[in-house]
Amino acid sequence: MKNESDKQHVFDNPRNVRLVVRVLIVCCVILLLADLVIHRHVDNPLEALFGFYAFYGFVACVVLVLLAKEMRKVLMRNEDYYDSVDD
Amino acid sequence: MILWTTDLPPFVLFYAAAFAALYLRGWWRSVVMLLVPVAGGIHLAGVADGTALHLSVLGFELQPYRVDALSRLFGYLFHIAAFIGIVYSLHVKDTRQQVSALLYAGSALGAVFAGDLMTLFIFWEMLTLSSVFLILARDTERSRSAAVRYLVIQILSGVLLLAGALLWYQKTGSMAFTFIGIDNVAGLLILAAFGIKCAFPLLHNWLTDSYPEATPTGTVFLSAFTTKVAVYALVRGFPGTEELIYIGAVMTCFPIFYAVIENDLRRVLAYSMINQIGFMVVGVGIGTELALNGAVAHAFNDVIFKGLLMMSMGAVLHLTGRINGSDLGGLYKSMPWTTTFCIIGAASISAFPLFSGFVSKSMVMSAALDGNHQVVWLMLLFASAGVFHHAGIKIPFFAFFYKDAGLRPGEAPPNMLIAMAISALLCILIGVFPSILYGSLPFAVDYNPYDSSHVLAQLQILFFSAAAFAWLKLSGIYPPELHSTNLDFDWTYRRFAPQLISRITLLMNTMYQGLRNAVRRRYHALLYKLEQHNGPQGLLARSWPIGSMALWVAILLASTLSLYFITG
């Protein structure tokens, strides 16, 4: 078992983690550029904007996380909040 | 075989097996449990659409069994879900859980094949009564109190359904479960009943409260049946009800905020379940053939991929005893298969092209666009990005990657892996060959999810969401996983109402005490006075000797005499 825990795994190496992030960035760039090449058929005027889905996806997630962080300030309690009988 | 008739409702087999499981032990029980969903599924394939059972009870015309395209699809789905759940829980040797799982699956089948509201009501309540044991079986203080709250809320749903059904009968003279609509009180009551089981906003907390407290295997069953029976009931009773579009849109959006800050990963999945049901509810509300097909198809896929995610988290909980994102990490090293299956589930729920979620969710999105529901469409798009964020990335990331928590539990037991493999395979098969699912939908499908516009748009959303996650995480903005409770609407009945009641009780107690003391004081004062005058020493209670009486009479006479002389 000792060997097992000492073994180097894929993401123990920070280079591999950086690689994943880089691949992700390259994919994003390719997908954004694909908007120029592939003509998306459009049902809604917003869709016609260049990179609408890319932009919307990114902003949506950032807004989601930032708002959720703010929510914590109001809503977060101890883990045993409901377990304690007294207030 | 005499039981092998087309008139045999599917629930009978499950109920019979539940009864048998009470008396069987060891692998005999396992064999029976595995055979039931297989036999039931094959049997269902041989039953023609239009098959029905009629029954007359106390003057009610009931239809306890009705097969059409819609109920058949849910029938297949529940057989598959039951089979996967049973394989997943084969290692469990707990009669209570095994019997209740069979009863629970049978009740779900009973409900979707119910042709009248009374039969639906009976199975509606059976769903509750059978499933509560899957929560209780965890045997913790938390699970017990969550189970009680679950029971109360679910029974309330049943009572509403019964009241609505009786009013509906009074109004229409029929118990048949067909289109109901909300233009009457009966319809509103029935919608409220469905809404509770469907986890409508503000009615949703029973789900996020109880599912994460159930046993690792119990949650897999729970996540498959109750809410999907409710979605089926909505499709049957309320298609095209516009209000549902907005209710559904809210359901897709608000839970994802909670999912981001929630630490218990099974609770994250519970929130994400509400988000997915939201897509289905929107589809029901739009009510076009494409939208209803999308809602039903998404319900089908959701059972499989949500089940898969619940199974992967159940495996983690089973092996490590932990389920909080803050206490896990690095499990990919010792659980590579579970990790792989979890990622397939995550890709499916995020609607990656070639995975099952994509082929059904895009139907609902397209239907929203077709119907010119622009704001709703933007909300759904927001929710699509959000679901990838919390279910697609957060679940696998915090459980299997991120910081190594030093846990080396080893791989999940073989039966768990097989169950996850079956689900993963279905996710990919349906994603790659959507016609498998499309062919069974209630309406003919003229829809191709794999046109270049859809695929590109979806990939852009997903990859840029992933980029947002990577950026937020690397820059340290992403909120850390913390041991915490996040207040949700259940605060009103778990904290506010009990506290209000105890405060009111305290206040009334104080008032009562004050009143009692005041009355007591007056009473004592009165007693004192009475005693003073009438007590043994009191003036009015003294005994008067005859001598003093004669004296006083003499004094009185003397004074009268003297007055007489003075005035005379």
Contact (CB<8Å) B463/A27: yes
Decide: B419 and B87 in contact? Cβ < 8 Å. Answer: yes
pLDDT digits (tens, 9 = 90+) for B72-110: 999 999 999 999 999 999 888 888 899 999 999 999 999
**Which one-letter amino acid corresponds to residue B228?**
K
Q: Is the pLDDT of residue A56 over 60?
A: yes
Which residue in A has a C-alpha nearest to residue B455's C-alpha? A40
Looking at per-residue pLDDT, the higher value among A9 and B550 belongs to: B550
Contact A67 B386 (CB under 8 A): no
Q: What is the CA radius of gyration of chain A?
A: 22
Residue B44, amino acid: L
Closest A-chain CA to B499 = A87
Residue A86 forms part of a structural domain: no
Q: Which of B506, B120, B420, B477 lies closest to A64 in space, CA to CA?
A: B477
pLDDT tens track for B292-318:
999 999 999 999 999 999 999 999 999
Domain-embedded: residue A87: no
pLDDT digits (tens, 9 = 90+) for B32-77: 989 999 999 998 888 888 888 888 888 778 888 889 889 999 999 9
Q: Give me the residues paired with residue B62 across strands.
A: B55
Which residue of B261, B326, B464, B478 to mutate against A (max A Cβ within 10 Å)? B464
- With tokens 């009479």, the residue in question is B553
In a domain, A18, yes or no: yes
Average pLDDT of chain B is: 89
Tokens of residue B328, six digits: 């896990």
Determine the pLDDT at residue A43.
77
Residue A38 lies in a domain: yes
- Across the interface, whether the CB atoms of B463 and A28 are under 8 A apart is answered yes
B23-33 burial by CB neighbour count: b if 16+ within 10 A, else e? ebeeeebbebb
**Percent share of chain A, pLDDT over 70:** 87
Domain count, chain A: 1
Rounded to a whole number of angstroms, the distance from the CA of A26 to the nearest CA of chain B is 10
- For the cut 90, the answer to whether the pLDDT of residue B495 exceeds it is no
Q: For residue B260, count other CB atoms closer than 10 A to its CB.
A: 24
Contacts of A53 in chain B (CB under 8 A): 381, 456-458, 460-461, 464
The residue ranges of every structural domain in chain B are 1-238, 241-501
**Amino acid type, B285:** G
Q: pLDDT (tens digit, 9 = 90+) per residue, B226-285?
A: 999 999 999 999 998 999 999 999 999 999 999 988 889 999 999 999 999 999 999 999
In a domain, A66, yes or no: yes
B539, pLDDT greater than 80: no
Please state, for a pLDDT cut of 70, what percent of chain B lies above it. Answer: 98
Nearest to B216 by CA among B303, B297, B97, B115: B97
> For residue A84, is it within any domain?
no
User: Are residues B284 and B244 in contact, defined by beta-carbon separation less than 8 angstroms?
Assistant: yes
Residue type, position B65, single letter: Y
Distance CA B268, CA B176 (A): 38
Residue in B332, B334, B385 nearest the CB of A60: B385
What's the domain range around A70? 2-75
Tell me the pLDDT band of B333, cut-offs 50, 70 and 90. confident
Report if residue A23 sits inside a domain.
yes
Determine, yes or no, domain membership for A82: no
Q: CB count, 10 Å around CB of B240?
A: 15
B374 touches chain A (CB under 8 A): yes
Which of A40, A62, A80 is opposite residue B472, by nearest beta carbon?
A62
Interaxial angle between packed helices B289-320 and B336-349, expressed in degrees from 0 to 180 and rounded to the nearest 10: 160
Question: Does pLDDT of B1 surpass 60?
Answer: no
Closest CA to B236 of B412, B115, B381, B361: B115
Record: contact A11-B332, CB cut-off 8 A = yes
Q: What are phi and psi of B4, to 5 degrees?
A: -85, 50
Q: Which residue of A has its CA nearest to B404?
A: A12
Instruction: Give me Rg for the CA atoms of chain B.
Output: 34
Dist. CA B231–CA B208, nearest whole Å:
17
